[in-house]
Amino acid sequence: MSEEVTSSRAKNETWEWIKALGIAIALAFLIRTFLFAPFIVEGESMESTLHNNEKLVVNKAVYHLTQPKRGDIIVFHAEESRDYIKRVIAVAGDTVEVRNDQLLVNGKPVDEPYLAKNREEAAKLGVPLTNDFGPIQVGEGEIFVLGDNRLNSHDSRAIGPISLDRVVGRAEFVFWPLSQIRLAR
């Protein structure tokens, strides 16, 4: 009888491990699909805020509860097989333009402290960081995005405003490389 009990316990323990593994896989799938996802920065369009090959966590749930705000760093579907990461500059109803290297939203200058390093580099080259454009009116259900590295960014200046239904989520924090862990702001 003890062999039968031992065999039964082994089967129960195996079944418990299988159930636990199944639950873990299901939870991981649900979390990645609906809440958070990893994203790898490709390219230099968000320098000096984010760097090529950094890995970050994208909050996919936040925009089910609220709309993107000016200053948010978002990931969106730019092409069928490629996502971009950019900064929200203007939201629905806003008018956006750049005159004399100054970003204007609704006719008011916008302070962009995250561009300080890039402005220094552009000044060394003797060029404006952002060439004049606009004014552009952002439509309902859209946002206007720019990369922080304005000299090297394929963004709303080229592809137009982004439909909200193409937004994947908001970049929350960089987790790789470990020496660079920080909030994505």
Per-residue burial over 55-77, b = 16 or more CB atoms within 10 Å of its CB, e = otherwise:
ebbbbbebbeeeebeeebbbbbe
Query: Is residue 30 scored above 70 in pLDDT?
Result: no
Residues 91-104 pLDDT 10s: 999 999 999 999 99
Query: Is residue 35 scored above 70 in pLDDT?
Result: no
CB 62 within 8 A of CB 79: no
Residues 138-165 pLDDT 10s: 999 999 999 999 988 999 999 999 999 9
Query: Is residue 6 scored above 70 in pLDDT?
Result: no
Active site annotation includes 2: no
Active site annotation includes 86: yes
In the prediction, which pLDDT does 34 show?
60
Mean pLDDT of 15-41: 76
Query: Is residue 108 scored above 90 in pLDDT?
Result: yes
Query: Is residue 180 scored above 90 in pLDDT?
Result: no
Burial of 162 from C-beta contacts in 10 A (0-12 / 13-18 / 19+): buried
Torsion of CA 56, 60, 61, 62, to 10 degrees: 70
Instruction: Give one word for 60, left, alpha or beta, with left for phi > 0 and alpha for psi -120 to 50.
Output: alpha
Query: Is residue 62 scored above 70 in pLDDT?
Result: yes
- Active-site option among 8, 19, 45, 81: 45
In the prediction, which pLDDT does 33 show?
62
- Active-site option among 60, 86, 153, 156: 86
Residue type, 160: G
